[in-house]
Structure 1
Amino acid sequence: MNDLQGLYVRMAVDAWNSELKATNALLDKLSDEQLMREIAPGRNRGIYLLGHLTAVHDQVLPLLRFQETIFPELYGPFHDEPDRAVADLPSISQLRAQWKEVNDTLMAHMNKLPPVEWFTRHANISEADFPKEPHRNRLNVLISRTNHLAYHRGQLVLLVQK
Structure 2
Amino acid sequence: METDFTAQIIKQVITAWAANSKVISNFFSKYEDAYYLNEVAPGRNRAIYLLGHLIASNDSMLPMFDLGEPLYPELVTTFLRTPDKTEPDTLTIAELKQRWETLNTTLAAHFDKMQTQDWMSRHTRVSEEDFALEPTRNKLNVLIGRTNHQQYHYGQLTLLTQKVAVA
Normalised to the residue count of structure 1, the TM-score between the two structures is 0.95
Match of 2:83 in 1: 82
Q: Is the 8 A contact 2:25 2:97 kept in 1?
A: no
Partner deviation per Cα, 1:65-112 (whole Å, 9 max, x = no partner): 111101100010001000010114311111111111111111110111
Q: Is the 8 A contact 1:63 1:124 kept in 2?
A: yes
Query: Does the residue aligned with 1:83 lie in a helix, a strand or coil?
Result: coil
Distance in 1, matches of 2:144 and 2:117, equals 16
Distance in 2, matches of 1:69 and 1:117, equals 19
1:142 aligns with 2:151: no
Query: Does the residue aligned with 1:17 lie in a helix, a strand or coil?
Result: helix
Q: Is the 8 A contact 1:66 1:109 kept in 2?
A: yes
Match of 1:160 in 2: 161
Distance in 2, matches of 1:140 and 1:30, equals 33
Match of 1:113 in 2: 114
> Alignment length, in residue pairs?
162
Match of 1:124 in 2: 125
Match of 1:53 in 2: 54
Match of 1:68 in 2: 69
Distance in 2, matches of 1:111 and 1:60, equals 15
Distance in 1, matches of 2:93 and 2:44, equals 18
AA in 1 matched with 2:147: T
Match of 2:45 in 1: 44
Query: Does the residue aligned with 1:128 lie in a helix, a strand or coil?
Result: helix
Runs of 4+ in 1 over 2 A off after TM superposition: 158-161
Match of 1:92 in 2: 93
- Structure 1, gaps ≥5 residues long: none
Distance in 2, matches of 1:38 and 1:70, equals 27
Question: Over the residues paired in the alignment, what is the CA RMSD in angstroms?
Answer: 1.3
